[in-house]
């Protein structure tokens, strides 16, 4: 029996409509336009293209978009100064720093220049730390407000909106990046899953993956997760974005795995569109925290 | 065959001697005494007793100790003000805030008043976040300097000093507190273990524990981990401190488990003495970062 397809594109559309309505109400009430500032140095083609996509998606919901580009030759001090200035600017509610940073720039120092309450990408360690320290759902959080990177937040939202139970389930996250794998593992832990984190040093990855009721792939290797690595009926969330012969494919061998899994996100049309929707949501949330009190 | 006993008491003694020598050299070079400040409100007996133990251990190594006690009735603002003042005091290098805080005090707000570079207990979210974000060993860390809570740091040090291989091993951490379970899981991940985190919602805990090459227990339930939950030959690190009929016991049923495990920490005499040694180490390290630059 083929798996249920978890349609991220349709969900994202639904969420964007909800956000557009909330943004309109927010603007009406406070006279403030929730605004994102995208910062980068240089003209890395993928960064340029991603910034354009953000611009389009924000402007379509009548949210504010600013682009701040330093030359490739900018110093770390100039970058830090720009990030600090935007962090202090009351007309900017969310800030994204695009990578790659120019060689020699210390990423850690740059991201810690962000005001945590404008860090809508959840990259500042204080946001990562609050997520790491947050109490399980159902208890008082025990931490101040935080932001979670948009991609894992979107993966979680897919599980929730499809009514997939997480508590008590075994979740396996393959990949331990700071922007997807680790925060996804911490989110699933917050939701009371028993969570395993795998990576390049994991021995017998297939056996570990087969333990998963919920299997998340975030490694950036095309079709790494094959059908024999998936427990029949498991839910598979594919965060991979890879290109093979000009075609976008995930980290999961979709065609084969969908015959084994109980539910699966396609690539494209799964977690990708959700990332975009969650970024809108984080910026609206940032504006609410800063303006709406 | 009975397990190797991982003697935390002997190791801690060795480490304290190393630290005492380093402290003497540091004082000689900089004319500064590495100093800890312990902060609390009220006279919770366990806190009083722990503060006395810290005082003794620091004074024995000729390190500085300060105790700052507010009345039980102190307000959150007074506590935050005290923590800020000590954070700004150049004669204080490390600060510990003792729990429990009086009712109505927001723990999250109090701990974020700490200067991260004096947070020798690793409780500030920025330290938790840097640990969550740190790159695996062998790569550039990608984060600024951080502190890890002393108890999990001591558990890791036991593994390292006994030459126990971590990379590629399956590690299971039972317990997800912010002070032991979660940071231990993140440390093991940093060391390239494949890490699983279990907790009260985990189904079939015994089966998950049996997957572990390295099993860490940090739940605070006497003898929860029984022999049938341990894979033969596994390394067992017991962070539990429980009292049964006036006797201190760990989270592991030591007498039975030592017949199955390959190596095991006893309670008392395992992770407990290491916590104390790691706190000394963190305060010395804090002084080095602040003074030795």
The CATH class of B31-117 is alpha beta
User: Could you tell me if B156 and B184 are in contact, meaning their C-beta atoms sit under 8 angstroms apart?
Assistant: yes
* pLDDT tens digits for range B203-236: 999 999 999 999 999 999 999 999 999 999 999 9
Whether the CB-CB separation of B224 and B217 falls below 8 Å is answered with yes
Phi, psi of B147 (to 5 degrees): -120, 145
The C-alpha atoms of residue A106 and residue A40 are separated, in whole angstroms, by: 14
Q: How far separated are the first and last CA of chain B, in Å rounded? A: 49
Whether the model clears a pTM of 0.90, i.e. scores above it, the answer is: yes
Strand A170-174 and strand A214-217: the pairing is: parallel
CA distances from B71 to A86, B39, B52, B75, B114 (A): 42, 11, 18, 9, 20
Decide if pLDDT at B1 tops 80: no
B31-117 matches B150-272 in fold: yes
Candidates B129, B170, B199; nearest CB to A129: B129
Q: Give the pLDDT confidence score for residue B292 in this predicted structure.
A: 72
Rounded Cα distance between A241 and A125, Å, is 25
Contact A126 B131 (CB under 8 A): no
Determine, for residues B130 and A129 on separate chains, whether the beta-carbon distance falls below 8 Å.
yes
Give Cα separations from A218 to A237, A269, B7, B132 (angstroms).
Answer: 9, 16, 39, 17
**Are the C-beta atoms of A51 and A37 separated by less than 8 Å?**
no
- Cβ within 8 Å, pair A201-B194: yes
Contacts of A288 (CB under 8 A, 6+ apart): A26
Summarize pLDDT for B249-276 with one digit per residue, the tens: 999 999 999 999 999 999 999 999 999 9
Is residue B167 less than 8 Å (CB to CB) from chain A?
Answer: yes
Superfamily of domain A150-272 in the CATH hierarchy = NAD(P)-binding Rossmann-like Domain (3.40.50.720)
**Which residues of chain A have a CB within 8 Å of the CB of B124?**
129
Tell me which residue of B113, B133, B107 sits closest to A122, measured CA to CA: B133
Question: Got the DSSP string for B135-146?
Answer: PPTTS---S---
Domain range list for chain A? 31-116, 150-272
Indicate which of B76, B144, B194, B204 best probes the interface with A, i.e. most A CBs within 10 Å of its own CB: B194
**CB-based contact B230:B209 (threshold 8 Å):** yes
Looking at residue B293, what is its pLDDT?
A: 60
Cα B264 to chain center, whole Å?
18
What are phi and psi for residue A2, nearest 5 degrees?
-75, 150
Closest Cα to residue B293, out of B24, B90, B11, B59?
A: B90
pLDDT at B78 over 80: yes
Q: Do B55 and B47 touch, CB atoms closer than 8 A?
A: no
Interfacial A residues in 77-116 facing B (CB < 8 Å): 107-109, 112
Q: Report CA dihedral (B19, B20, B26, B31) to the nearest 10 degrees.
A: 150
Would you say the C-alpha torsion A78, A81, A83, A85 has a positive or negative sign?
Answer: negative
Looking at residues B36-60, what average pLDDT do you find? 97
Per-residue DSSP letters for A110-156?
Answer: HHTTS-GGG-TT--SHHHHHHHHHPPPTTS---S------HHHHHHH
The stretch A252-277 carries a mean pLDDT of 98
First to last CA, chain A: 50
User: Average of pLDDT values for B74-92?
Assistant: 97
CA distance A132 to A185: 10
pLDDT in tens, A183-240: 999 999 999 999 999 999 999 999 999 999 999 999 999 999 999 999 999 999 999 9
- What pLDDT is stored for residue A23 in this prediction? 97
Could you report the per-residue pLDDT of A59-118, keeping only the tens digit for each? 999 999 999 999 999 999 999 999 999 999 999 999 999 999 999 899 999 999 999 999
**Assembly ipTM:** 0.97
Rounded to an integer, what distance in angstroms lies between the CA atom of residue A126 and that of residue A123? Answer: 8
Are B195 and A194 a contacting pair at CB < 8 A? Answer: no
Residue of chain A whose alpha carbon sits nearest to that of B109:
A144
* In the block, residue with structure tokens 């006893």: B266
Nearest to A63 by CA among A4, A8, A20: A20
Using CA atoms, how far apart are residues A55 and A49, in angstroms rounded to an integer? 10
The CATH architecture annotation of domain A31-116 reads: 3-Layer(aba) Sandwich (3.40)
Partners of A119 on chain B (C-beta within 8 Å) are none
Residue A87: how many CB atoms within 10 A of its CB? 17
SS3 A281: helix
- Interchain contact, A128 vs B132, CB within 8 Å: yes
Mutate to test the interface with B, among A127, A133, A214 (most CBs of B within 10 A): A133
């Amino acid at each position: 029996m083929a798996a249920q397809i978890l349609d991220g594109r349709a969900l994202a559309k639904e969420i964007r409509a909800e956000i557009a309505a909330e943004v309109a109400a927010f603007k009406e009430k406070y006279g403030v336009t929730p605004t994102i500032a995208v910062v980068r140095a240089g003209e890395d083609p993928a960064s340029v293209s991603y910034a354009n996509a953000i611009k389009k998606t924000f402007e379509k919901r009548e949210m504010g978009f600013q682009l701040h580009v330093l030359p490739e030759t900018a110093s770390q001090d100039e970058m830090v100064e720009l990030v600090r200035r935007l962090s202090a600017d009351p007309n900017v509610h969310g800030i994204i720093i695009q990578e790659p940073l120019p060689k020699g720039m210390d990423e850690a120092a740059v991201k810690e220049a962000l005001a945590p309450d404008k860090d809508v990408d959840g990259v500042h360690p204080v946001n990562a730390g609050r997520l790491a320290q947050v109490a399980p759902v159902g208890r008082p959080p025990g931490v101040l407000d935080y932001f979670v990177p948009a991609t894992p937040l979107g993966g979680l939202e897919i599980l929730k909106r499809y009514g997939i139970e997480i508590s008590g389930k075994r979740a396996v996250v393959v990949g331990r990046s700071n922007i997807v794998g680790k925060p996804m593992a911490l989110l699933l832990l917050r939701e009371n899953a028993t969570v395993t984190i795998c990576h390049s040093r994991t021995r017998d990855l297939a056996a570990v993956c087969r333990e998963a009721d919920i299997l998340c792939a975030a490694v950036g290797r095309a079709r790494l997760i094959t059908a024999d690595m998936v427990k029949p009926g498991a839910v598979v969330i594919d965060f991979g974005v890879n290109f093979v012969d000009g075609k976008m494919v995930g980290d999961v061998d979709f065609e084969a795995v969908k015959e084994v899994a109980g539910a699966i996100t396609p690539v494209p049309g799964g977690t990708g569109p959700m990332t975009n929707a969650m970024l809108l949501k984080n910026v609206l949330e940032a504006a609410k925290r800063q303006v709406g009190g």
